[in-house]
Amino acid sequence: MDPISQGALGAVTSQNLVHRKHLAVACVLGLLSGMAADLDIFIRSDEDPLLFLQYHRQFTHSLVFIPVGGLICTSILYYFVRKRWQLSFRQVLLYCTAGYATHALLDSCTSYGTQLFWPFSDYRVSWSNISIIDPLFTLPIVVLIVLAAVKKKHVFTRIAGSLATCLPCFRFCTERASPVCRSGSRPIQRS
């Protein structure tokens, strides 16, 4: 997924865990943590130009790495928000881990897939129900998280969370329910 979608979903998840006075800071923490797993693109080698493809969506996107990724994000971001927002390390850890946890699941919704079960399996989970860049998914969520942060109302966050959950589920179910998907073959197109 694109970084904006990743950040938006991380922000929604973090915002759903906070008191309304912390909606703005939770938005920022979730947004940054939601994008952090893609920092694996900096794993590169001059000898092997395709090395980054091997590691992209691997260990940083694994379900077992979520607590580690959340802790890394917290370790960096805590010092920027602790005094101004009077947040404890535990609160920042909760918001960052929640934001980080969304990344791999959202990437699994694309056709490229994600190694969710690394190191136990190299299988790429791919539900193919969201495009890599999907404005119909991202734009409403971005608008709603901004409204939640500005107006300090959870209703916008709840709607954004519902959209972020329902849209991929709806696409997944409708795709699986079509006769083309059930038969496992594509219809013959006639000229």
Q: How far apart are the C-alpha atoms of 183 and 177, rounded to whole Å?
A: 10
User: In terms of pLDDT, which residue wins out, 50 or 182?
Assistant: 50
Rounded average pLDDT over 5-10:
96
Confidence of residue 80 (pLDDT cuts 50, 70, 90): very high
Question: What is residue 83's predicted lDDT score, i.e. its pLDDT?
Answer: 87
pLDDT tens-digit series, residues 126-167:
988 888 889 999 999 999 999 999 999 999 999 999 999 998
Confidence of residue 117 (pLDDT cuts 50, 70, 90): very high
Question: What is residue 159's predicted lDDT score, i.e. its pLDDT?
Answer: 96
Residue 116 confidence (pLDDT) above 50: yes
Rounded average pLDDT over 31-35:
97
Please give the DSSP secondary-structure letter assigned to residue 63: G
| HEC secondary structure over the chain | CCHHHHHHHHHHHHHCCCCHHHHHHHHHHHHHHHHHHHHHHHCCCCCCCCHHHHHCCCHHHCHHHHHHHHHHHHHHHHHHHHHHHCCCHHHHHHHHHHHHHHHHHHHCCCCCCECCCCCCCCCCECCCCCCCCCHHHHHHHHHHHHHHHHHCCHHHHHHHHHHHHHHHHHHHHHHHHCHHHHHCCCCCCCC
What are the residues whose beta carbons fall under 8 Å from the beta carbon of 191, sequence distance 6 or more?
none
